[in-house]
Chain A
Amino acid sequence: MSQETFWILLSKKLSGEASLEELVVLENLILEHPEWQLAIQNLGEIWKYQPKKDQTEEEDAYMLHLQRMQELNVPFGNMPDQTPVVSMSGRKKMKRWYWAAAVLLVLASTWALLMKPFKGGQGQEMARQVSEITTRPGSTSKVELPDGSMVWLNAGSKLTYNKDFGKELREVTLSGEGYFDVTKMKDKPFIIHTSNINIKVLGTAFNVKAYPEDKLSETSLIRGSIEVTIKNRPNDKIILSPSEKLVVENDRVVRRGVVQKPVDAPVSPMVPMVAVNKLRYSPADSSIDEIAWMDNRLIFRNETMEELALRMERRYAVQIQIEADELKEMKVNGIFDQESVAQALEALKEMIPSINYVKEGNQIIINR
């Protein structure tokens, strides 16, 4: 072996690039030259050593990076909608941002003020570093929170929590639908904020359905116990037992850009209607309807076509237009299990033979 080959092999070994054969050849060679052992060991040590860096510099750099993204109008989660432009003109402004720690404090607070407060305006709490998880229409996702609690998010949902999660409280905000399995921590209540209800749990499993465009939000308790407070009725605390669900009528219903108030609301529009129901169990296998989505099943009982269309839109990531008004109000029952959207549409046509549908890509029109 030439010297060159020896050094190639040794450097490959230290870099983790040597094949098994090469390692064997090298090891055998080294065994024959015990006088090399010390030097080779030293080389190995020098090679391996990586100093442990503390991360503060990187964390500061990240804050500056977020600030810069905002200044350049790059949409990032819960920032107000802006057109994404990474323009060169942003560069000229940037000279000043490479500054000392004192300025960082100012930047951090400006940034926090610019962000939309996500806790319904509690005032004293600034939204610091926020973690946000979103799911697209047609997909679900499983998230593990810092305390070990698991959340399954249904399609078209958003879950956010901030850096203080787990310090004294465990607070998250939910838009959409999620199934929560919360780690028991008696001294750290787990609180979920949706647009019109707050749910406090100690440790339990339950489903929350709170899509902003839906008429109703539902909280279904599977096990444990939870306390639900409605935002406009702070003194009413409702405690659910397993197999119960709480249904809250959202005080405003926004459907496809048109704002409607519930026409026959017997109470003032500011106070939503509330009902406690029992969860529905499927007779066939005693599974619970409200969390069928986790098994990728869509169960609908006595729902209008319009409501079903909305659920299908979320599940299949399509757009559905129902042309005939009387069709929108028609009530249907059924289960979609592993069906594709095309199969689901065929199934609907079998249930209601007079309907016709046109499907182009992910645009669907249903009429008579």
Chain B
Amino acid sequence: MPENENIKRLLTAISVNNDQAAYRELFILLHARLKQFAYSILKSGEEAEELVSDVFIRIWQKREQLENINSPLLYFYTTTKNLALNQLSKQKRQVNLSPEEWLVQVNSLYFDPEQLMLTEEMFRQVKKAVNDLPPRCRLIFKLVKEDGLRYKEVAELLQLSVKTIEAQMAIALRRIGKCMHFELKTAIPARAQTILKK
């Protein structure tokens, strides 16, 4: 994924050259996503803002070790998650908060009436369907679609299997399809199945 490559390039500049311009670029790139993610756990905008700042302080302080991270996006999300959960437990709020209880909001559903053959009503249904997704499903959907994490990264972050991620994404998509009256009523020929079984 080209974004991980871009992030790795910035991390190298920060790690090797103390490049402040690269650090700033990284911050601007990740800030909104990480803040939303922190918010979903902390449920306070102000605390989320501070937490992301803490994450970036860590990034600066540990910059020499940042050069060779394989999945930088996963690293940032995991750090954010851990710091947020730690904070909750230090403040004795909601100990053992599970991902199901994270407050997830999906923001990037838009449509251009010129491009899509959807009515506004249909689209409203789509948005509603996504917001009505079971919490874990919605979280996974957001992390993949909006935040750009790979299935493997989401699995690692939430301590789930990749198969679970696949299944949840399928559920989300099917529900969206239903709003557009796209439901599979007929079974699909079995010959396709043998190729898939590996």
Question: Interface of A with B (CB < 8 Å)?
Answer: 1-12, 14-17, 21-22, 25, 28-29, 36, 38-40, 42-43, 45-47, 49-51, 53, 55, 57-59, 61-62, 64-65, 68-69, 72, 74, 76-77, 84, 86, 91, 94-95, 98, 129-135, 139, 141, 143
Contacts and interface: CB of A to CB of B under 8 A. Distances in A.
A308 B31 CA distance: 47
A130 B41 CA distance: 34
Contact of B173 (A14, A25, A69, A74): A14
Given A72-B57, A134-B18, A15 B145 contact: yes
A68 B118 CA distance: 46
Contacts of B177: 7, 39, 43
Contacts, number: 161
Interface residues of B, number: 63
B115 A45 contact: yes
A322 B108 CA distance: 65
Contact of A1 (B57, B108, B118, B190): B190
A11 B166 contact: yes
Given A11-B169, A58-B27, A134-B18, A46 B112 contact: no
Contact of A59 (B28, B166, B180): B28
Contacts of B54: 86
20 contacts: A1-B190, A4-B170, A7-B170, A7-B171, A8-B166, A8-B167, A8-B170, A12-B166, A14-B173, A17-B151, A29-B188, A40-B182, A42-B117, A50-B146, A51-B108, A62-B24, A91-B50, A98-B49, A130-B20, A141-B16
Interface of chain A, helix or strand or loop or mixed? Answer: helix
B56 interface: yes
A51 B195 contact: no
B180 to A, nearest CB: 5
A22 B196 contact: yes
Contacts of B56: 65
A28 to B, nearest CB: 7
B21 interface: yes
B172 interface: yes
Contacts of A129: 24
A143 B31 CA distance: 26
A11 B50 contact: no
A59 B177 CA distance: 37
